[in-house]
Structure 1
C-alpha cells in the first residue's frame, strides 16, 4: 500500500496545504516518515487523514468560484465499523461546503473494499449540496455493487462513463467540465 501515491501531476494547479480555504491548509508533509497505516500496512505520507482508521483522502483540486472539488480516496470505506462517511462528511466535506463547494468528484480506484451501514449521512450530504451533485469515478465493480445494496447510488452517481473515465489525461477543469456535462444529461438540463 505504501507504493500507492496520490496523483501528483496536478500539484502545479492546486495544493491543499497552500489553500487557505482547505481543511489541510498549512499541513507540513514529511515524505521520509511513514506513520499512517491501514490494517497494519503503511501508506504514502502524502495521503491526508480524515479521522478514520481505514479511509484516507487527497484533495487534488478545489475551485471555489465554480464550486467543485476533486478528491482521491484510498483504503477501505467502512461505514459498518468505523462510520467513515461520518468522518468524511463532518471533518472534510462540511468544511468545503461552507466555502461554496457543492459538486464533488470522488476518485475511487484505490478503494479496496466497502462495508455499508445505513445511508443517512449520504442523504444528508446529498441534501446539503442542493443544486450540486456527487460523482464517483472509477470505483471497482464490487465496491459499487456493495454501495448499491445500501442505496448509496441514490446519492453518489456511478456507472456509464463514470466507471471508466481516464481522468489522469485531463487537467482538473477539463475533467470537471466532462463530468458536469454528463451530469447535465443525467439530470435532464
Structure 2
C-alpha cells in the first residue's frame, strides 16, 4: 500500500495545502517519511489524515465558483468501528460546504472495504447540498454493494455510467461537467 499515491496530475492546478479555504490548508506531507498506517501497512505520505485509523484522502481539486470538489480516498471506509463518515463529514465536508461546495465527486478505487452503520451523516450531507449532489466513481463493486445494503445509495449517486468514467483522462472542470450531466440525466428520468 505504501506505493499507492494520490492522483497528482492536477497538482499544478490545485493544492489543498495551499488553499486558504480548504480544511487541509497548511497540511504538510513528507515526500520521504512514511508516518501513517492502515492495519499496520504504511501508506504513501501524500495521503491526508482525517483523524481516522483506516481512511485517508486527498482533496484533488476544489472550485468555489462552480461549487465542486473532487476527493480521492484510500483505505477501509469503516463507519461501524471508526465512524469514518462522522470524521469525514465534520473535518472535511462541513468546512467545504461552508465555503460553497455543493457538488462532491468521490473517487474510491483505493477503498478496499466498507463497513456500514447508521446513515444519519449521509442524510445530513445530502441535505446540506440540497441543490447539489454527491457522486461516487471508481468504487469497487463489492464496496458499492455493501453501501447499498446500508441505504447509502439514497444519498450518494453510484453505478451506471459513473462506473465507466475514466476520470484521470479529464481536466477537473471537464470531469465535473461530465458527472453533472450524468446526474442531471438521472434526475430528469
Give the secondary structure class of the aligned counterpart of 1:181. helix
C-alpha distance in structure 2 between counterparts of 1:140 and 1:72, whole Å: 14
Q: Which has the larger share of helix?
A: 2
Give the secondary structure class of the aligned counterpart of 1:81. helix
Unaligned 5+ segments in structure 1 are none
What is the TM-score with the length of structure 2 in the denominator?
0.98
Give the secondary structure class of the aligned counterpart of 2:56. strand
Task: Say whether residues 1:78 and 2:71 are aligned partners.
Answer: no
* Partner of residue 30, structure 1: 30
| Structure 1 segments of 4+ aligned residues over 2 angstroms from their partners | none
Task: Say whether residues 1:139 and 2:139 are aligned partners.
Answer: yes
Q: How does 1:4-153 map to 2 (within 5 A)?
A: 4-153=4-153
Unaligned 5+ segments in structure 2 are none
Q: Deviations over 1:15-57 (max 9, x none)?
A: 1111110111112221111000000000011000111100000
What is the TM-score with the length of structure 1 in the denominator?
0.98
C-alpha distance in structure 1 between counterparts of 2:27 and 2:84, whole Å: 22
Count of aligned positions? 189
Give the secondary structure class of the aligned counterpart of 1:93. helix
